[in-house]
């Protein structure tokens, strides 16, 4: 089986490292944004730290990468690529460009399954509507400490499900058809591979609910940690901070109700538990702000504000944090 990973950020490096350790009969291709990162990984491999404690102990596993690491610009250099059976897309929403979609298309056949493992939702997907598209939600914690170093900072679960329309726009009436059609052999093999790699993974026939659950969790936690420059757990340090969180939460569920989006009564407690269980973590949005990178705010809080507009309601808190985050100084970084 041929598995391509597009994106060599924290999640891309994590999934590559875990799958490479299984020694299964697979071909892993890793596609990076830059030649410099690809060259470094080819020369030195990936240094995988199974926990934050392993960093302090300097105990990493060296994952050889051989020659199957390329910058995405290299994808057009030859016409003899064998198409991938599975493509795992781990790039941030800010890098989901029409150019990247064209590069993905070079690796796709009619049998290829594409899994988008990303934060937020978007409605401007431009891929071929004949593609076998899956969405993925993960709570695995990963931190890239260098271009070829990744820390497995928290163990979680990955859920994937097939989309009949891209990025969280499945009509509920289509779910029985998706379930009845089943899933390709490649997806089943991938899930077995992830299990052998020590990753908790499962299939969902209602991935839309999982997508919108993660969206609201990210929309409450990420922008506030970025604005206040604090780790996740510090959100619970005062009643005033919790009140702001609660305002964003209540606005979001009001929008969900207007849009007939399913949500669970346990969601508020789930948000608080995420803050507790990831107390020392730096959110991805805070990390982007600290590095001067463009954030995914447009596809997180901006998505909630857009859903509100489409259903003749408002979400002023989510619009406000969008403006605040987007007004920060931005310098694009590799």
Strands 149-154 and 141-146: antiparallel
Strands 46-49 and 61-63: antiparallel
Q: What is the DSSP letter of 205?
A: S
Which pLDDT belongs to residue 191?
A: 95
Last residue of a domain, one of 154, 171, 205: 205
User: Do 214 and 201 share a structural domain?
Assistant: no
User: Do 244 and 231 share a structural domain?
Assistant: yes
The lowest-confidence range among 140-149, 151-160, 181-190, 274-283 is: 181-190
User: Do 224 and 145 share a structural domain?
Assistant: no
Which pLDDT belongs to residue 334?
A: 41
Which pLDDT belongs to residue 124?
A: 53
Determine, yes or no, domain membership for 246.
Answer: yes
Q: How far apart are CA 174 and CA 164, in angstroms?
A: 7
Which pLDDT belongs to residue 180?
A: 36
Determine, yes or no, domain membership for 334.
Answer: no
The lowest-confidence range among 8-17, 165-174, 229-238, 313-322 is: 165-174
Q: 115 in helix, strand or coil? A: strand
Query: Closest Cα partner for 207 from 242, 175, 247, 238?
Result: 175
User: Do 188 and 218 share a structural domain?
Assistant: no
Which pLDDT belongs to residue 317?
A: 97
User: Do 178 and 292 share a structural domain?
Assistant: no
Determine, yes or no, domain membership for 39.
Answer: yes
Determine, yes or no, domain membership for 331.
Answer: no
CATH code, domain carrying 243 = 1.10.1040.10
User: Do 172 and 218 share a structural domain?
Assistant: no
Last residue of a domain, one of 205, 227, 247: 205
Which pLDDT belongs to residue 163?
A: 74
Which pLDDT belongs to residue 52?
A: 77
The stretch 8-25 carries a mean pLDDT of 93
Q: What is the pLDDT of residues 36-67, one digit of tens each?
A: 999 999 999 999 999 877 776 666 788 887 66
User: Do 127 and 217 share a structural domain?
Assistant: no
Last residue of a domain, one of 205, 237, 260: 205
User: Do 152 and 27 share a structural domain?
Assistant: yes
Query: Closest Cα partner for 329 from 299, 295, 281?
Result: 295
Determine, yes or no, domain membership for 332.
Answer: no
Q: What is the pLDDT of residues 258-270, one digit of tens each?
A: 999 999 999 999 9
Strands 61-63 and 157-163: unpaired
Which pLDDT belongs to residue 79?
A: 62
Structure tokens at 250: 């209540």
User: Do 150 and 253 share a structural domain?
Assistant: no
C-alpha distances (whole Å) from 72 to each of 50, 68, 112, 163 are: 28, 12, 18, 25
Determine, yes or no, domain membership for 186.
Answer: yes
Determine, yes or no, domain membership for 333.
Answer: no
What count of other Cβ atoms lies within 10 Å of the Cβ of residue 130? 8
Which pLDDT belongs to residue 182?
A: 63
Which pLDDT belongs to residue 175?
A: 39
Q: How far apart are CA 324 and CA 225, in angstroms?
A: 13
Q: What's the domain range around 254?
A: 209-326
Which pLDDT belongs to residue 278?
A: 85
User: Do 180 and 94 share a structural domain?
Assistant: yes
C-alpha distances (whole Å) from 68 to each of 32, 41, 45, 122, 224 are: 11, 10, 11, 30, 39
Domain count, the chain: 2
Determine, yes or no, domain membership for 315.
Answer: yes
User: Do 152 and 237 share a structural domain?
Assistant: no
More confident residue, 22 or 52: 22
- Residue-wise over 49-75: b if at least 16 C-beta within 10 A, else e? bbeeeebeeeebeebebeebbbbbeeb
Q: 138 in helix, strand or coil? A: strand
- What is the value of pTM for the model shown? 0.85
CATH code, domain carrying 51 = 3.40.50.720
Which pLDDT belongs to residue 81?
A: 78
User: Do 226 and 199 share a structural domain?
Assistant: no
Question: Facing residues of 87 across strands?
Answer: 4, 114
The four Cα atoms 72, 201, 165, 252 give a dihedral, to 10 degrees, of -100
């Amino acid at each position: 089986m041929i598995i391509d990973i597009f994106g060599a950020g924290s999640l891309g490096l994590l999934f590559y490292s875990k799958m490479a350790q299984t020694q299964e009969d697979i071909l892993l291709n890793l596609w990076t944004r830059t030649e410099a990162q690809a060259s470094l990984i080819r020369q030195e491999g990936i240094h995988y730290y199974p926990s934050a404690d392993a960093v302090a102990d300097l105990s990493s596993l060296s994952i050889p990468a051989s020659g199957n690491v390329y910058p995405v610009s290299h994808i057009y250099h030859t016409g003899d690529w064998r198409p991938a059976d599975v493509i795992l897309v781990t790039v941030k929403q800010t890098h989901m460009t029409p150019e990247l979609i064209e590069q993905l298309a070079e690796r796709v056949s009619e049998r290829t399954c594409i899994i988008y493992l990303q934060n937020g939702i978007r409605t401007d997907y431009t891929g071929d509507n004949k593609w076998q598209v899956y969405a993925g939600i993960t709570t695995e914690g990963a931190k890239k400490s260098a271009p070829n170093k990744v820390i497995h900072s928290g163990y979680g679960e990955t859920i994937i499900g097939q989309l009949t329309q891209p990025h969280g726009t499945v009509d509920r009436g289509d779910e029985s058809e998706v379930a009845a059609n089943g899933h390709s052999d490649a997806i089943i093999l991938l899930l077995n591979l992830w299990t052998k790699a020590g990753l908790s993974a499962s299939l969902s026939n209602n991935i839309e609910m999982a997508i919108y659950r993660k969206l609201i969790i990210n929309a409450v936690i990420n922008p506030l940690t970025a604005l206040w420059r604090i780790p996740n757990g510090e959100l619970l340090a005062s009643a005033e901070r919790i009140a702001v969180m609660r305002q964003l939460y209540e606005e979001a569920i009001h929008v969900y109700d207007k849009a007939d989006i399913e949500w669970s009564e346990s969601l508020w407690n789930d948000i608080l538990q995420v803050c507790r269980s990831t107390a020392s973590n730096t959110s991805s949005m805070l990390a982007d702000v600290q590095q001067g990178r463009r954030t995914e705010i447009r596809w997180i809080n901006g998505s909630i504000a857009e859903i509100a507009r489409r259903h003749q309601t408002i979400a002023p808190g989510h619009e406000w944090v969008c403006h605040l985050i987007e007004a920060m100084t931005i310098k694009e970084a590799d």
